Amino acid sequence: MTVYKRRGEETLPTLPFNTRSQILNMAELHYGSSPGTKLDQTCVFCLIAHNQDKETEVIKENKELVCFRDIVPAAPHHYLVVPKQHIRSCLSLHRGHVHLVERMADMGKAVLRDQGITNMKDISLGFHQPPYTSVDHLHLHVLAPASQIYKHMMYKFIPKSLRKNVYRSV
């Protein structure tokens, strides 16, 4: 018998799992996709990442990530770095994603350098936590100069708040 518990709006099965399909269904509910799923046709960031959105200009891309401008910029330079694989949010990340997050930060910093930003101490990199996300697809905000984040947008980018988890590289 499978026991269910509430987690936000989701109902997640708890152990014991009876079949492989139950495990995959649980992963889909929790992570937003089954393991190995790369594209969610209902996700705008998936469409952008897979070149199916003709309006968004991709600034930088590799086999795993894409970077493009935020449509509601909070600073003179505001970009989003998005994995091509659909991952629902930063709450879906686990230890196995550490290198992915590092590569996301590296791409964001490379885009800033390409755009002429030289002061890497005056940047902000971070994720918003649900329910403060507008798109349910993991995306790293890359802002520069951080000292010039627009006053009317400052509340969205307060470090170490529920609205933003700041990623700091060493």
Residues 115, 31: Cα–Cα separation, whole Å: 33
Annotation says 77 is catalytic: no
Compute the CA torsion angle 47, 50, 56, 57 (nearest 10 deg).
170
Question: Which CA distances in Å does 52 have to 44, 45, 49?
Answer: 9, 10, 8
Handedness of CA 155, 160, 163, 164 (dihedral sign): positive
Burial 40-71 (b: 16+ CB within 10 A, else e): beebbbbbbbbeeeeebeebeeeeebbbbeee
Q: Which residues pair with 80 in a beta bridge?
A: 68, 141
* Residue from 86, 128, 139, 141 carrying the catalytic annotation: 139
**Dist CA 138 CA 10 (whole Å):** 18
Active-site residues, by number, are 139
